[in-house]
Structure 1
């Protein structure tokens, strides 16, 4: 199966409907939110600093994520980075390596979207051990606390372009 991470605006009408149908497991909603909140951030056009990306598996969307830059960059992030938000893998496609595929493709698409960035950052709930481990496997390192979240302070993790 071929996967590729593509900008939301490059999707055709059928693929956009398929993105709208992405559902995460109910226990993951507290971490990633739902697809409608993520799409609202992209479609509201309130900020040029928000871009959506869909992971296509054989041209069918199976995951979605947001990247942010100024003026939408969170206060805890470096002005020289892009931040990852709302990484969502459809529950019907879980366990097939799509989260890993998103993270593998992420540096290239982020750099293509914003060539001036020097790295990527994210915040993750301190109790989301699976996500922390996944991000660490892809080179994200703990860089301090981001802000007070649901269960204490969110962990800030970063990745710097070589």
Structure 2
């Protein structure tokens, strides 16, 4: 398994990215790729919403978006994170999430707190998030999704 790379959606890759699809039992957990792109255009939550593709060995294996307020310390949200059903079960989800955290740290140095939401009945995703250090106070958003956070300031200050 190669290193996961992150690239923005572009004219060159959007058609391949649109083919990303999760399994039937997972479709209620994440927005479709088309919905993610609509969110990027509409920016329903924050000032900025950037969609990205996840690549392994040059092949798009997943997508996510980052919704945020530029230069804020605590308003950065990972959304739409999904690995294509053909690439699941290979460790890509865990590796991709590690890369996403590093990506946010590098691209948005002001960010101290990274957040995401997860459906209560998605134990596989919850396991991955908790394994990588995301924590929850069991608070929910307006859609009854549980909010998880990752403290970048605490984690990365320990390594300096």
Q: TM-score range, shorter-chain basis?
A: 0.7 to 0.9
Aligned length: 150
CA RMSD of aligned residues (A): 2.1
Give the gaps of 5 or more residues in structure 2.
156-160
- Counterpart in the other structure of 2:35: 37
Which residue of 139, 144, 159 maps to 1:145? 139
Give the gaps of 5 or more residues in structure 1.
72-77
Secondary structure (helix, strand or coil) at the match of 2:89 reads coil
Secondary structure (helix, strand or coil) at the match of 2:28 reads helix
Please give the residue correspondences for 1:1-162 in structure 2 after superposition, counting only pairs within 5 Å: 1-9=1-9, 11=10, 13=12, 15-42=13-40, 44=41, 46=43, 48-70=47-69, 80-149=74-143, 153-161=144-152, 162=155
- Going by fraction, where is strand more abundant, 1 or 2? 1
Q: Is the 8 A contact 2:64 2:81 kept in 1?
A: yes
Q: Kindly state the Cα deviation for residue 133 of structure 1 after the two structures are TM-superposed.
A: 0.9
Q: Kindly state the Cα deviation for residue 45 of structure 1 after the two structures are TM-superposed.
A: 6.1
Q: Kindly state the Cα deviation for residue 79 of structure 1 after the two structures are TM-superposed.
A: 5.8
The alignment's TM-score, normalised by the length of structure 1, stands at: 0.82
Q: Is the 8 A contact 2:69 2:75 kept in 1?
A: no
Q: Kindly state the Cα deviation for residue 29 of structure 1 after the two structures are TM-superposed.
A: 1.2
After superposition, the C-alpha distances for 1:110-149 in whole angstroms (9 at most, x for unaligned) are: 1233221102111111111111111000100112312243
Q: Is the 8 A contact 1:140 1:159 kept in 2?
A: yes
The alignment's TM-score, normalised by the length of structure 2, stands at: 0.83
Q: Is the 8 A contact 1:7 1:51 kept in 2?
A: no
